[in-house]
Structure 1
Amino acid sequence: MGILELNHVSKSFNGRKVLDNISIKVQEGEFVTILGPSGSGKSTLFHLIGGLSVPDEGSIMLDEKNITGKRGFISYMPQQTALFPWRSVLENVLLGQELHEKKDVEKAAAMIAKAGLSGYEEALPSELSGGMKQRVAFIRALLSPQSLICLDEPFSALDDFTRLEMHQWLLSIWEEFKRTILFVTHNIDEAMFLSDRIIVLSSNPAKIIHEVKVPFKRPRENELLLKDEFLELKKELYQAMGRA
């Protein structure tokens, strides 16, 4: 399924509140982006969802099960691709499945081909470009058995051209497989182009200060970035970010 619910989640570190009463519901197959300035607690939110940390208050539910403080229930793609340098592309892609003893080499090879990486199955990460590494990391997340994928600013290190290319590729893959995605970024254009819904966080501490349902039809093309309706929504989000 992949239905995520955060209920009144708060978290403090060393007496400083980082997250304040965060409540979010992500529906099955929905692409939701958390948008906020750097240091607004977006990554902390992912650590809580992934069970790496425990909230001071509130609960985290996935498919009606309480996963607060529990690990292994989400698939996570960090800012850096975190590929093992000694493992081939195919071996890296299979890692999530291996951890759950559900290895499917045939399906992994098909996904590698779909990502345009045919012929690179036995290549090491050092032989790949930045965009190719991102594709491998996303395939690994997609093939993991968990119903929810959390993407933590995965394109922040890419140049603008490669980033646009990766947006198109990510959407093409996601629209085919429709996994539930919670995405974190501070890039407004990226959030608007990818998402079904955008949640804006303030900082110090993070609170939900704005939420929009993205009205643009899918599939989305790069020309959308220059349309008046895109720029109007960007202005709305920019103003919300200014209040963050």
Structure 2
Amino acid sequence: MSLLTVKNLTKQFGNNPVIQHLSFSINEGEFVSILGPSGSGKSTLFHLIGGILSPNTGSIQLADQEITGNRGHISYMPQTPSLLPWRTVLQNVLLGQELHGKKDKEKAKEMLQIAGLEQYIDAFPHELSGGMKQRAAFIRALQSPQPVICLDEPFSALDELTRLDMQKWLLSIWEEYRRTILFITHNIEEALFLSDRIIILSNKPANVKDDFLVPFDRPRSEELLLQEDFLHWKKKVHFSLKGSD
């Protein structure tokens, strides 16, 4: 059963159409990545799903609830960690819960321990490395009560080795909690390594060009990145994406 359904979504700014007749759905517990050319409307799509923007036409449903143009129904993590500098790591992680009238400190501490941040619970964001900030921001998203987490290129600012470490860490956390994730990335390897499905957007006005089911078994390790089948799929997604330009 579909958890999130986007139907015939269209969005334009003035005379500039960005998204046109875009439809897809994701199931509960699914990890879905969205790839598309630069400027194809991927972040705009997230803003529509999150209710920050309203579409010109179309609808967005969460389970059986219409959420088009309404905020507060999804958990959103932008490209930068966006931790509040005056709050400790633990206080930042609890923020999403507090906004919904909840607070489970013990669960938050447990997840921070799993994330390797146990010693930094009372630290402030300026005391953390870039990877630590991203882990804290993801734990905050994971702790929020909304059923869908939207991640907008969360690792794009990290160096290659730190990025791979974060991908492996994200997979380990996701394997344990199986939250529904919609993930924007420009990196084909990242999408293949992390995802159950990859949705390819066309150039703007964006619609769905391809929808690939990723065939690799879970759990996954970094050795997968060097396997022949992985390289075959990397080429397949590359040529689909290239045809979207």
Q: TM-score, normalised by structure 1?
A: 0.98
Matched residue type, 2:105: V
**In 2, Cα distance between the equivalents of 1:38 and 1:105?**
40
In structure 2, the residue corresponding to 1:18 is in which secondary structure? strand
Q: Residue 61 of structure 1 corresponds to which residue in structure 2?
A: 61
Q: Residue 104 of structure 1 corresponds to which residue in structure 2?
A: 104
- Percent identity, aligned pairs only, is 61
In structure 2, the residue corresponding to 1:218 is in which secondary structure? coil
Q: Mind listing any 5+ residue stretches in structure 2 that lack a counterpart?
A: none
Please give the per-residue CA displacement for 1:12-41, whole angstroms capped at 9, x wherever unaligned.
011111001111110000000111121110
Q: Residue 217 of structure 1 corresponds to which residue in structure 2?
A: 217
**In 1, Cα distance between the equivalents of 2:222 and 2:171?**
12
* 1:237 shift after superposition: 0.7
* 1:169 shift after superposition: 0.5
Q: Is the 8 A contact 1:53 1:69 kept in 2?
A: yes
**In 1, Cα distance between the equivalents of 2:228 and 2:103?**
47
Please give the per-residue CA displacement for 1:166-225, whole angstroms capped at 9, x wherever unaligned.
001001111111110000111100000000000000112112111110000011111111
Q: TM-score, normalised by structure 2?
A: 0.98
**In 2, Cα distance between the equivalents of 1:15 and 1:77?**
29
Aligned positions, number:
244
Q: Is the 8 A contact 1:9 1:58 kept in 2?
A: yes
Q: Is the 8 A contact 1:34 1:184 kept in 2?
A: yes
Q: Residue 170 of structure 1 corresponds to which residue in structure 2?
A: 170
**In 2, Cα distance between the equivalents of 1:99 and 1:205?**
35
What is the RMSD computed on CA atoms of the aligned residues? 1.0
Matched residue type, 1:52: I
Q: Residue 194 of structure 1 corresponds to which residue in structure 2?
A: 194
**In 2, Cα distance between the equivalents of 1:201 and 1:27?**
19
Q: Residue 82 of structure 1 corresponds to which residue in structure 2?
A: 82
